[in-house]
């Protein structure tokens, strides 16, 4: 008997941390709140919580929130419907995180783009830091895969975003870097070469949601080769980025 009591006590102690998690609460203000089985509009509505019903917000995924009602019923609710519930203070629930204002005050950004570099397919990743809303610096690493040669290039860019408060925001960029070109294996052996290069470009960023951007750009390069003529490849590419 004593052992049983001890075991129960131990179990209670073990269960404690699970209970300690405090969730944000809300009260349903519309006639009813629809709970779906999953975090997408395709999932069916299987429960409703009526006006005045209390709910806890367990977690979020994209624009959906998982909530639990008083009677332990659980389901997923769309963000726009959550914003019609009331918080403790009787005001509409708001979700402070992740909106366009974060974008305007962003510092770090990273992303990946793909496209065409002088007829070769190019894949690029970059990381950037914004000094001001307008001016940022970026480090790019790209791999261009062509029919006759592959090249890897790294460059440092300065980027000026003229209208940082626009959701579709154009920018200008200038940069310099190094390109290393190696001919494909099936071709007759020629040597790898490394050259300096510089570029200018224009592009556009589109703010999609939360911390997510789409981005497309065009860059015009000059490669300072060791031969008589410089090469002037052009590049366009599109992709996505995150900021934080």
Size of the site for other proteins (CB under 8 A): 41
For position 147 contacting other proteins by CB under 8 A, the verdict is yes
Q: Taking a C-beta distance cutoff of 8 angstroms, is the pair 140, 124 a contact? A: yes
Binding-residue pattern over the window 56 to 95 for other proteins, x denoting contact by CB under 8 A? -xxxxxxx-xx--------------------xxx-----x
Among 68, 84, 121, 198, contact with other proteins (rule: CB under 8 A): 121
Supply the DSSP string of 44-103, one letter for each residue.
PEEEEEETT-EEEEEEEETTEEEEEETTS-EEEEEHHHHTTSB-TTSSBP---SSSHHHH
Q: Could you say whether residue 240 binds other proteins (CB under 8 A)? A: yes
Rounded Cα gap, residues 174 and 123, in angstroms: 19
Rg over CA atoms, the chain:
27
79 vs 162, which CB is nearer to other proteins? 79
Residues 18-37 that bind other proteins (CB under 8 A): 22-24, 37
Residue of 30, 83, 100, 114 that binds other proteins (CB under 8 A): 114
Site for other proteins contains 120 (CB under 8 A): yes
User: How far is 178 from 224, CA to CA, in rounded Å?
Assistant: 10
Residues numbered 151-180 forming contacts with other proteins, rule: CB under 8 A: none
Instruction: Compute the least distance from the CB of residue 9 to other proteins, in Å.
Output: 28
Euclidean distance between CA atoms 39 and 32, whole angstroms: 18
Q: Between 160 and 210, whose beta carbon lies closer to other proteins?
A: 210
CB neighbours of residue 166 within 10 Å: 13
Beta carbon nearer to other proteins, 158 or 214: 214
Does 97 help bind other proteins (rule: CB under 8 A)?
yes
Residues 179, 149: contact at Cβ < 8 Å?
no
Q: Does 99 bind other proteins (CB under 8 A)?
A: no
Triad 193, 197, 198: Cα angle to 5°: 170
Give the 3-state secondary structure percentages of the chain, helix then strand then coil, rounded to 5: 10, 55, 30
Q: Residue 145, interface with other proteins (CB under 8 A)? A: yes
* Residue 191 DSSP symbol: -
Which of 47, 143, 220, 225 contacts other proteins by CB under 8 A? 143
212 binds other proteins (CB under 8 A): yes
The distance between the two most distant Cα atoms of the chain, rounded to a whole number of Å, is 95
The interface with other proteins within residues 220-239 (CB under 8 A) comprises 239
Q: Which residues bind other proteins (CB under 8 A)?
A: 22-24, 37-38, 40, 42-43, 57-63, 65-66, 87-89, 95, 97, 112, 114, 120-121, 123, 143, 145, 147, 150, 184-186, 208-210, 212, 239-240, 242
């Amino acid at each position: 008997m004593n052992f049983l009591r001890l075991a129960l006590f131990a179990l209670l102690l073990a269960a404690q941390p699970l209970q300690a998690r405090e969730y944000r609460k809300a009260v349903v203000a519309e006639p009813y709140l629809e709970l779906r089985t999953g975090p997408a509009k395709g999932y069916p509505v299987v429960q409703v919580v009526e006006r005045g019903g209390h709910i806890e917000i367990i977690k979020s995924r994209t624009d959906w929130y998982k909530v639990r009602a008083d009677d332990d019923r659980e389901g997923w609710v769309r963000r726009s419907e959550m914003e019609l519930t009331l918080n403790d203070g009787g005001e509409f629930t708001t979700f402070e995180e992740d909106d366009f204002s974060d974008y305007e005050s962003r510092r770090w950004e990273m992303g990946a783009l793909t496209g065409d570099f002088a007829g070769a397919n190019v894949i690029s990743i970059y990381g950037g830091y914004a000094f001001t809303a307008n001016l940022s610096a970026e480090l790019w690493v790209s791999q261009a895969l062509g029919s006759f040669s592959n090249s890897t290039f790294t460059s440092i860019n300065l980027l000026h975003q003229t209208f940082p408060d626009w959701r579709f925001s154009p920018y200008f960029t200038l940069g310099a870097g190094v390109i290393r070109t190696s001919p494909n294996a099936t071709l007759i052996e020629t040597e790898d070469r490394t050259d300096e290069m510089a570029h200018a470009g224009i592009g556009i960023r589109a703010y999609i949601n939360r911390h997510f951007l789409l981005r497309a750009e065009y860059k015009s390069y000059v490669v300072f080769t060791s031969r008589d003529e410089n090469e002037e490849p052009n590049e366009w590419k599109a992709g996505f980025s995150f900021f934080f």
